[in-house]
A and B are shown apart, each in its own frame.
Chain A
Amino acid sequence: MTQLDRPPGAPDPVSVPFTPGMRDNPDELAQFGDEIARDPEVKHDPTPTEEFTEEWRNASYNCFSSGHKFCREVCPVMQVTRNESWTPTAFHANVVAMDKGELSIEEVAGDYVNCTQCGACELRCPNTLFTGDFYRFRTRTVDVVKAVRAFAVESGIHQPAWKTWNARTDDKTHEPVLGEIPIKQENVRDWSAGLDIPIGGESVLFVDCEAAYYRTSVPRAVAQILQLAGYEFGLMGEQWCCGGPAAEMGYVDQAQRFARHNLDNWRSTGTKRILVLDPHDYISFTEDYPKYFGEEFDLEVVLVVELFAELIREGRLTPSVPVERAITYHDPCRLNKRKGVWKEPREILRSIPGLDFSDVDRVTQWSYCSGGGGGLPVEKPELTAAISASRLEKAAALEVDTLVSACPWSERPLSAAGEAVDIDVVDIHELLAASLGIEVGGTTNGSANGSAR
């Protein structure tokens, strides 16, 4: 019974408590005339802005209408800027204001740079937490930010550094790390010098641009661990950037073009499985690619951190060389917050002898970020640096000498911040390799590419 008994004298069913929508409610309820509420006006010849806000209106409105900003204190940008214009809720409010004709895409576009797409806000948001997507009203701030960035690009509004970055990436089909490092198709496999890895095959190791050109010790460690475990794999024929960063900055066409190239290339080498070491690629392959290609994208995506944990569990890898370091672990946003992967990295770390591991639980780490994602370091490196510094401050409070991450994109800014507090930043794969007695080689700072440190 959802409708309480109407007491004698009560004028109508509205005067007693009831649960709207329940089957056994009296018909009278649906028959009250309405003085105000109307169906929303349908625009016949909508402007691009109207088309955009039509799609996002209710989603953004759901945040606007709560407006409590529970998300705020976990937002890494907010933590260092304390600027309310750059909070998850502001990103939604701007869309509502655009819907009301108060703000234009020109006026809002610049604010949307200030997001690392870490997803912490979504985890903290009651609209996401409690209801699943029961009403299809879930608050998806990361998607809203991406959508507004895409709408800006589509409207011809560019952020200067993002524009250059994407033009260069397009030119080189890879992240255009500047300086000495040659960013060319011929160099994309330089990191694997001497490892004797075949091209193509059922399983292909995809190496993100940052790791392939800059932090080459990471893919080297991964490849050698796989070899040690006897796991067969090859490299891509012609590997382009996964397109994830372009998608995050709003350069949707480029992102899809890159994705198409990679998919075609995997097809041409008979690939069925992609091994991924970078959390950002993992998001691209498990979220973006299925969106672009639907059923056509039928490849298995394997995160190597998870694979390594499994291999250790099965006894196929046994870390035995003690690593005498006092460490803590940085949960990469895209693993912990966006994908819920936090157990396996800890499993790996606990299996390495010699480590003195001061853990910080994953929920506390919802408010941690390196600042290295979402294109932030390209457009606002000073903000990335501040966010990394704040992350390292938390590590320093634990009196560790090493911060372990599992995301190559976090490691450059974290390392820079680590220098100030004398903390080494090491990749989990490298650490595991060391404990497996592997001489990794490669570089952690983009210097002499591919060779030993």
Chain B
Amino acid sequence: MTVTVEALDELVTALRTVLADDQILTSKTDRYNRARVPAPFPVHRWSERLPDLAVLPTSTEQVAGVVRIANELRVPVVPRDGGTGLTDGAVPLRGGIVVDVKRMNQVKELDLENRTVTVGTGISMLKLNEQLAKHDLFYPDDPASYPCSLVGGRIGTSGWSLIGSRYGHSRDLVLSFDHVLPTGEVMHVGDGIGHKISKSSSGYQLKHLFMGHQGTLGIATEATLKLFPKPEAELSPFWAFDNYDDAYRCVGALARAGVATFAGAVLFDEWKVAYLRRDDEAYIPQPNDVRALVCAVMYGYEDEVRPAGKRLFRIAKDHGARYLGDEISEGDWAARHDRYATPLHGRTKAGQVVPMSWHCEDAAVNYTNLPSVSRAWHEIVADLRRRTDVFDDWGMFTYTSGSTGVDYLTEIDVGIWEQQLDDRAWEMWVKAKRDIAAVALAHNGSISACHGSCREGEVDLVPQELGRGFDVMLDLKRTLDPNNIMNPGKYLLDRAYETGPHA
């Protein structure tokens, strides 16, 4: 609790001037359930991260009103949307107000001619696409969290889409948005001021600044998104390999082929295959000589996807691939979201099944560095495992990030037996995360390609990754948020307010 009882009363009284009673939630369960995202955390320390209250605004004006009050009263504000972020962005570190934007989930305008849709940022991509389907359109931001993450959180994290090699990622797909600054002023962010402009050259390019800041620079309330024709055909071949090296070379060749309908390629390494093998009945039944898997995905019209598929099949074959068949390919790609979500595979080294949470460290790494980053990351996790069964190695994915295959979203999935996560285990883990981030940097990568990097551990290395750029971040933060009310404690931005070299 950062706010005293009297101050809380004053705050609630002030909030009642902009919100109705049922939009202000103060009960313990309301607060506990907004102090939680899927990323594991020692649950014995849950109470350290509670907000003082949560609000459920329904309009930009209400959000602005709440932020203005918070700024006046110097109360922290934490934007929260789906609450599926994996770096704890939506979890309060200093109490205060959680601004939960889920009630802002309306489709405000559908422009069929310019191919845009304007939505409240509390809408999910799944629900939006249900509505767009009637017009044969779709919004192709497709993270593995597609059924649960929401547009505002995609903006807050500048997320990464599984089919981004064809359609681009959140930052490319969000054209513009209304945004409440930390002072409560409202601005429009985007190329130009016309809401639906995809490229302008006037002024500084502020869109990038206001995406991926993890709620430290304000709250996006209404967004205009770019739409595409709903793909007529989807081809997603899965191929098996008897060794990692061939699979790795195959992925690179697929990505470099320059096929226009190519939406992405994924490489599952030996650890991932060993992990999937735990539940053959639920996943791909793999013969023992399968050591690595590759999936390529194409989206488009039937008559463009089919010949393109032939080309990719040829490339795969040349690299020693064995096609796993239509049924596995289609089923597995259809399950692409749920696949991330089953926590049942936590096992001790001896094989005992225990409930474990899924943690995923992600980085952006160039193609040429993937093998050595993978080796180093697995060794970091192996070292944890040697010491305790609290950690389990669930293997790695690498996904193409762009159409040319220059760099890859690289992630290692670690099972964490959160019920056993005491302070000692947590320390071990934080150190491991720092080491994992350091490996990415040592390979000229970025600490994060999609989730952000504001959690204990990796966040320590952000100044190192950004260099002089980190000081610019501090300058911007101080200017835009003079009282440090927006999601304080994240991204080491408190340094902006310390006396010393940065003050």
Using a CB–CB cutoff of 8 Å, the interface residues on chain A facing chain B are 1-2, 4, 12, 14-15, 17-22, 25, 29-30, 32, 34-38, 40, 58, 61-62, 64-70, 72-73, 82-85, 87, 90, 93-94, 96-97, 100, 102-103, 107-108, 111, 124, 126-127, 129-131, 134-135, 137
> Are B357's CB and A65's CB within 8 A?
yes
Q: Please choose the segment from B169-177, B293-301, B348-356, B398-406 that sits at the chain A interface, where 4 or more of its residues have CB less than 8 A away.
A: B348-356
CB distance from B397 to the nearest CB of A (A): 14
- Residue ID in chain B nearest A30 by CB atoms: B350
> Are A34's CB and B389's CB within 8 A?
yes
Q: Please choose the segment from B97-105, B190-198, B223-231, B257-265 that sits at the chain A interface, where 4 or more of its residues have CB less than 8 A away.
A: B97-105
CB distance from B407 to the nearest CB of A (A): 25
A-B contact pairs, 28 of them (CB 8 A): A14-B382, A18-B274, A19-B277, A21-B351, A21-B353, A34-B388, A35-B388, A36-B422, A37-B417, A64-B43, A65-B356, A65-B357, A66-B342, A66-B343, A68-B38, A68-B84, A68-B148, A69-B83, A69-B148, A72-B82, A84-B83, A93-B33, A94-B32, A107-B27, A126-B338, A126-B342, A127-B341, A135-B353
CB distance from A414 to the nearest CB of B (A): 21
Contacts of A107 in B (CB 8 A): 27-29
User: What 7 pairs across the A-B complex have the smallest Cβ distances?
Assistant: A21-B351, A67-B38, A30-B350, A65-B357, A20-B347, A126-B338, A36-B388
- List B382-434 residues whose CB lies under 8 Å from chain A: 382, 385-390, 392-393, 395, 417-420, 422, 424-425, 428
Which of B33, B269, B348, B379 contacts A20 (CB under 8 A)?
B348
- Residue ID in chain B nearest A15 by CB atoms: B382
> Are B288's CB and A22's CB within 8 A?
no
Which of A58, A93, A130 contacts B355 (CB under 8 A)?
A58
- Residue ID in chain B nearest A1 by CB atoms: B288
CB distance from A360 to the nearest CB of B (A): 11
Q: Chain B 238-279, CB within 8 Å of chain A: the 1/0 string?
A: 000000000000000000000000000000011101110111
> Are A12's CB and B38's CB within 8 A?
no
> Are A68's CB and B274's CB within 8 A?
no
> Are A73's CB and B148's CB within 8 A?
yes
Q: Please choose the segment from B121-129, B156-164, B466-474, B486-494 that sits at the chain A interface, where 4 or more of its residues have CB less than 8 A away.
A: B121-129
Q: If the complex has contacts A62-B343, A67-B357, A93-B33, are A4 and B291 also in contact, measured as CB distance less than 8 A?
A: yes
Which of A1, A19, A126, A130 contacts B278 (CB under 8 A)?
A19
- Residue ID in chain B nearest A137 by CB atoms: B344
Task: Check: B463 CB closer than 8 A to any chain A CB.
Answer: no
Task: Check: B64 CB closer than 8 A to any chain A CB.
Answer: no
CB distance from A206 to the nearest CB of B (A): 38
> Are B288's CB and A2's CB within 8 A?
yes
Q: Chain B 277-290, CB within 8 Å of chain A: the 1/0 string?
A: 11101100000100
> Are A137's CB and B355's CB within 8 A?
yes
- Residue ID in chain A nearest B130 by CB atoms: A364
- Residue ID in chain A nearest B38 by CB atoms: A67
Q: If the complex has contacts A21-B350, A68-B145, are A73 and B343 also in contact, measured as CB distance less than 8 A?
A: no
> Are B56's CB and A69's CB within 8 A?
no
Bound CA span A370–B338, Å:
27
> Are B344's CB and A29's CB within 8 A?
no
Contacts of A40 in B (CB 8 A): 419
> Are A97's CB and B46's CB within 8 A?
yes
> Are A38's CB and B32's CB within 8 A?
no
Q: If the complex has contacts A17-B395, A20-B349, A34-B388, are A134 and B83 also in contact, measured as CB distance less than 8 A?
A: no
- List B323-367 residues whose CB lies under 8 Å from chain A: 335, 337-338, 340-344, 347-353, 355-358
CB distance from A442 to the nearest CB of B (A): 38
CB distance from B398 to the nearest CB of A (A): 16
Task: Check: B460 CB closer than 8 A to any chain A CB.
Answer: no
- Residue ID in chain B nearest A90 by CB atoms: B33
CB distance from B153 to the nearest CB of A (A): 12
Contacts of B451 in A (CB 8 A): none
CB distance from A49 to the nearest CB of B (A): 15
Contacts of B126 in A (CB 8 A): 73
Bound CA span A58–B417, Å:
11
Contacts of A97 in B (CB 8 A): 32, 46
Bound CA span A306–B252, Å:
55
Q: How many residues of B contact A (CB 8 A)?
A: 83
Contacts of A82 in B (CB 8 A): 56, 102-103, 105, 122
Q: If the complex has contacts A4-B270, A68-B148, are A37 and B389 also in contact, measured as CB distance less than 8 A?
A: yes
> Are A62's CB and B344's CB within 8 A?
yes
Contacts of A17 in B (CB 8 A): 269-271, 273-274, 393, 395
> Are A37's CB and B390's CB within 8 A?
yes
Bound CA span A29–B350, Å:
6
CB distance from A339 to the nearest CB of B (A): 23
Contacts of B30 in A (CB 8 A): 85
- The A interface is mostly helix, strand or loop, or mixed, namely loop
Task: Check: B44 CB closer than 8 A to any chain A CB.
Answer: yes
Contacts of B281 in A (CB 8 A): 134
Using A21-B350, A36-B428 as known contacts, list a sample of 18 further A-B pairs with CB atoms less than 8 Å apart, ordered by residue number in A.
A2-B277, A15-B378, A17-B270, A19-B275, A20-B350, A21-B278, A30-B351, A35-B424, A36-B424, A64-B43, A69-B84, A102-B47, A103-B28, A103-B29, A127-B344, A129-B338, A134-B344, A135-B353
> Are B349's CB and A32's CB within 8 A?
yes
Bound CA span A295–B276, Å:
39
Bound CA span A224–B418, Å:
59
> Are A102's CB and B32's CB within 8 A?
yes
CB distance from A405 to the nearest CB of B (A): 22
Task: Check: B34 CB closer than 8 A to any chain A CB.
Answer: yes
CB distance from B394 to the nearest CB of A (A): 11
- Residue ID in chain A nearest B341 by CB atoms: A126
Bound CA span A42–B32, Å:
26
Contacts of A100 in B (CB 8 A): 43-44, 46
> Are B273's CB and A15's CB within 8 A?
no
- List B63-93 residues whose CB lies under 8 Å from chain A: 82-84
Task: Check: B315 CB closer than 8 A to any chain A CB.
Answer: no
Task: Check: B147 CB closer than 8 A to any chain A CB.
Answer: yes
> Are B355's CB and A62's CB within 8 A?
yes
CB distance from A111 to the nearest CB of B (A): 5
CB distance from A391 to the nearest CB of B (A): 15
- Residue ID in chain B nearest A70 by CB atoms: B147
Which of A14, A35, A38 contacts B349 (CB under 8 A)?
A14
> Are A124's CB and B147's CB within 8 A?
yes
CB distance from B103 to the nearest CB of A (A): 4
Contacts of B344 in A (CB 8 A): 62, 127, 131, 134-135, 137
Task: Check: B213 CB closer than 8 A to any chain A CB.
Answer: no
Bound CA span A241–B18, Å:
47
Task: Check: B37 CB closer than 8 A to any chain A CB.
Answer: yes
- Residue ID in chain B nearest A104 by CB atoms: B28
CB distance from A371 to the nearest CB of B (A): 18
Bound CA span A19–B342, Å:
17
Bound CA span A137–B288, Å:
27
Q: Chain B 130-152, CB within 8 Å of chain A: the 1/0 string?
A: 00000000000000010110000
Contacts of A65 in B (CB 8 A): 40, 343, 355-358, 418
Contacts of B420 in A (CB 8 A): 36-38
Contacts of A111 in B (CB 8 A): 29
CB distance from B29 to the nearest CB of A (A): 5
Task: Check: B107 CB closer than 8 A to any chain A CB.
Answer: no
Contacts of A38 in B (CB 8 A): 420
Contacts of B282 in A (CB 8 A): 130-131, 134
Contacts of A69 in B (CB 8 A): 82-84, 148
- Residue ID in chain A nearest B101 by CB atoms: A82
Contacts of A21 in B (CB 8 A): 278, 347, 350-353
Contacts of B28 in A (CB 8 A): 103, 107
